[in-house]
Amino acid sequence: MSSPPTAPPAPPEAPPQPPRRPRGARAVLALLRNAWRGLTSMRTALVLLFLLALASLPGALLPQRSLNQQLVDKYFADYPRLAPLLDKVGAFEIFATPWFAAIYLLLMISLIGCLTPRSLEYLRAMRQKPVATPRNLARMPHHAEAVVDGTPDEVVERVRGRLKGWRRVEREEGEARSVSAERGFLRETGNLVFHMSLVGLLIGIAVGKLFGYEGQVIVLANGSQFCNTSILGYDSFNPGLRVDGTQLAPFCIKVDSFAAEYLPNGQPKQYTAQMGYQTADDVRAGDTATWRPDTLSVNHPLRLDGDRVYLLNHGYAPRFTVTWPDGQQRTGEIQWQPVDTSTYLSQGATKFERPGIADDATRQKSSIAITGLFAPTSSGGQVVTSTYPDLLAPEAAVDVMRGDLGLDDGRGQSIFSVDQSKVDSGQLVRVARQNMVPGQEITLDDGTRVRFDDVDQWVALQVSHDPGQVTVLVFAILILVGLGLSLSIKRRRFWVRVVAAEPGTDGRTRSVVELGGLARTDRAGYGEEFDRLRADLLEPATASTAATTRNGGD
Amino acid sequence: MPVDPMLSQYSDLLFKGALTVYVLAMAFYAVEYVTSRARERAVAAEAAPEPAAVAAVSATGGTGTADLGTVSEENADVPPPPVKAPKPFRSRADRFGRMGVSLTILAVLLHLGSIALRGLAAGRWPLGNMYEFTSAVCFAAMVAWLVALQRTSKRTRGLRKLGVFVLVPVLILMFLAGTVLYAQAAPVVPALQSYWLAVHVTTVTLASGLFFVPGVASILYLMKRSGKPAGFVAKLPDADVLDRLAYRVTVVAFPMYTFAVIAGAIWAEAAWGRFWGWDPKETVAFVAWVIYAAYLHARATAGWRHVGAAWINILGLAAIIFNLFFINMVVAGLHSYAGLG
Ligand code: HEM
Ligand 1 atom closest to the CA of A110, numbered from 1 = 27
Q: Please, are residues B290 and B284 in contact by the beta-carbon 8 Å criterion?
A: no
CB contact under 8 A, A46 and B294: yes
pLDDT over 70 at A135, yes or no: yes
- The rounded mean pLDDT for chain B is 80
Provide mean pLDDT across the span B126-142: 91
Q: How many other C-beta atoms lie within 10 A of the C-beta of residue A120?
A: 15
Phi, psi angle pair for B233, to nearest 5°:
-75, -20
Please give the residue of chain A at the shortest CA–CA distance from B271. A299
How much is the pLDDT for B77? 40
Q: Max Cα separation, chain B?
A: 69
Ligand 1 atom closest to the CA of A42, numbered from 1 = 30
Q: How many domains does chain B have?
A: 2
Place B191 in a pLDDT band, splitting at 50, 70 and 90: low
Task: Indicate if B243 and B255 belong to the same structural domain.
Answer: yes
Residue A501 half-sphere exposure, CB side, CA atoms within 13 Å?
23
Query: Rounded to an integer, what distance in angstroms lies between the CA atom of residue A518 and that of residue A494?
Result: 7
- Percent residues over pLDDT 90 in chain A: 51
Task: Indicate if B216 and B327 belong to the same structural domain.
Answer: yes
Task: Indicate if B2 and B134 belong to the same structural domain.
Answer: yes
- Which chain B residues have a beta carbon less than 8 Å from that of A464? 273-274
Binding site membership of A12 for ligand 1 (Cβ less than 6 Å): yes
Q: Please, are residues B250 and B289 in contact by the beta-carbon 8 Å criterion?
A: no
Report helix, strand or coil for A482: helix
CB contact under 8 A, A522 and B69: yes
How much is the pLDDT for B189? 67
Place A38 in a pLDDT band, splitting at 50, 70 and 90: confident
Q: How many other C-beta atoms lie within 10 A of the C-beta of residue A46?
A: 22
Query: Rounded to an integer, what distance in angstroms lies between the CA atom of residue A520 and that of residue B24?
Result: 44
Please give the residue of chain A at the shortest CA–CA distance from B300. A42
**CB nearest to B291's CB, from A53, A270, A483:** A53
Q: Is B336 on the interface with A (CB under 8 A)?
A: no
Provide mean pLDDT across the span A472-490: 95
- Which chain B residues have a beta carbon less than 8 Å from that of A47? none
Q: Whose CA is nearest to atom 32 of ligand 1?
A: A42
How much is the pLDDT for B89? 59
Domain boundaries, position B302: 189-341
> Quick check: is B275 in a domain?
yes
- Which chain A residues have a beta carbon less than 8 Å from that of B305? 522
Q: How many other C-beta atoms lie within 10 A of the C-beta of residue A135?
A: 9
How much is the pLDDT for B340? 33
How far apart are the CA of B211 and the nearest CA of chain A, in angstroms? 16
> Quick check: is B76 in a domain?
no
Binding site membership of B293 for ligand 1 (Cβ less than 6 Å): yes
> Quick check: is B216 in a domain?
yes
How much is the pLDDT for B13? 93
Query: Rounded to an integer, what distance in angstroms lies between the CA atom of residue A505 and that of residue A542?
Result: 11
Task: Indicate if B274 and B253 belong to the same structural domain.
Answer: yes
Last residue of a domain, one of B187, B212, B234: B187
Last residue of a domain, one of B187, B208, B237: B187
Task: Indicate if B253 and B282 belong to the same structural domain.
Answer: yes
Phi, psi angle pair for B138, to nearest 5°:
-65, -40
| Range 269-328 of B in CB contact (< 8 A) with A | 269-281, 283-284, 286-287, 290-291, 293-294, 296-305, 319, 327
How much is the pLDDT for B228? 79
How long, in residues, is chain B? 341
- Which chain A residues have a beta carbon less than 8 Å from that of B268? none
Last residue of a domain, one of B164, B187, B210: B187
CB contact under 8 A, A554 and B299: no
Query: Rounded to an integer, what distance in angstroms lies between the CA atom of residue B203 and that of residue B206?
Result: 5
How much is the pLDDT for A264? 83
Task: Indicate if B242 and B204 belong to the same structural domain.
Answer: yes
pLDDT over 80 at A543, yes or no: no
A364-398 pLDDT, tens digit per residue, is 788 899 999 999 999 988 889 999 999 999 999 99
Query: Rounded to an integer, what distance in angstroms lies between the CA atom of residue B7 and that of residue B114?
Result: 9
CA torsion through residues A11, A12, A15, A20, sign: positive
Interface test with B, best of A237, A522, A526 (most B CBs within 10 A): A522
End-to-end CA distance of chain A: 33
Annotate B142-159 with DSSP letters as a single string.
HHHHHHHHHHHTTT-GGG
A75-88 pLDDT, tens digit per residue, is 999 999 999 999 99
- Ligand 1 centroid to residue A465 C-alpha, Å: 32
Task: Indicate if B109 and B153 belong to the same structural domain.
Answer: yes
Binding site membership of A516 for ligand 1 (Cβ less than 6 Å): no
Interface test with B, best of A143, A298, A526 (most B CBs within 10 A): A298
Q: Out of A9-18, A148-157, A218-227, A249-258, which region has the weakest mean confidence (pLDDT)? A: A9-18
Q: Please, are residues B276 and B265 in contact by the beta-carbon 8 Å criterion?
A: yes
Distance of CA B228 to the CA centre of its chain: 24
- Ligand 1 centroid to residue B300 C-alpha, Å: 9
**Would you give the DSSP letter of residue B325?**
I
| Strands in A141-212 per DSSP E | 142-149, 167-173, 176-183
Task: Indicate if B258 and B118 belong to the same structural domain.
Answer: no
CB contact under 8 A, B287 and A487: no
> Quick check: is B79 in a domain?
no
> Quick check: is B73 in a domain?
no
> Quick check: is B87 in a domain?
no
**Single-letter amino acid, residue A131:** V
Interface test with A, best of B74, B199, B324 (most A CBs within 10 A): B74
- Which chain A residues have a beta carbon less than 8 Å from that of B72? 524, 527, 553-554
Ligand 1 atom closest to the CA of A104, numbered from 1 = 1
Residues ≥6 apart with Cβ < 8 Å to B79? B51, B52, B55
How much is the pLDDT for A524? 57
Residue of A301, A309, A310, A297 whose CA lies nearest to A270 = A297
Task: Indicate if B181 and B218 belong to the same structural domain.
Answer: no
Residue of A363, A354, A346 whose CA lies nearest to A398 = A346
Sort residue B316 into left (φ over 0), alpha (ψ -120 to 50) or beta.
alpha
Please give the residue of chain A at the shortest CA–CA distance from B155. A528
> Quick check: is B59 in a domain?
no
Task: Indicate if B161 and B197 belong to the same structural domain.
Answer: no
Binding site membership of A343 for ligand 1 (Cβ less than 6 Å): no
Binding site membership of A45 for ligand 1 (Cβ less than 6 Å): yes
Q: Please, are residues A238 and A69 in contact by the beta-carbon 8 Å criterion?
A: no
> Quick check: is B63 in a domain?
no
- Ligand 1 centroid to residue A33 C-alpha, Å: 22
Q: Is B2 on the interface with A (CB under 8 A)?
A: no
Mutate which of B252, B296, B305, B312 for ligand 1? The one with the most ligand atoms within 8 Å of its CB, which is B296
Mutate which of A191, A483, A485, A490 for ligand 1? The one with the most ligand atoms within 8 Å of its CB, which is A191
CB contact under 8 A, A267 and B189: yes
ipTM of the complex, rounded to two decimals: 0.84
Residues ≥6 apart with Cβ < 8 Å to B322? B284
**CB nearest to A269's CB, from B70, B76, B187:** B187
Provide mean pLDDT across the span B162-179: 91
Provide mean pLDDT across the span A495-520: 85
Task: Indicate if B37 and B126 belong to the same structural domain.
Answer: yes
CB contact under 8 A, B76 and A476: no
Binding site membership of A187 for ligand 1 (Cβ less than 6 Å): no
Annotate A77-109 with DSSP letters as a single string.
HH-TTHHHHHHHTTGGGGGGSHHHHHHHHHHHH
Task: Indicate if B29 and B157 belong to the same structural domain.
Answer: yes
Place A472 in a pLDDT band, splitting at 50, 70 and 90: very high
- The rounded mean pLDDT for chain A is 87
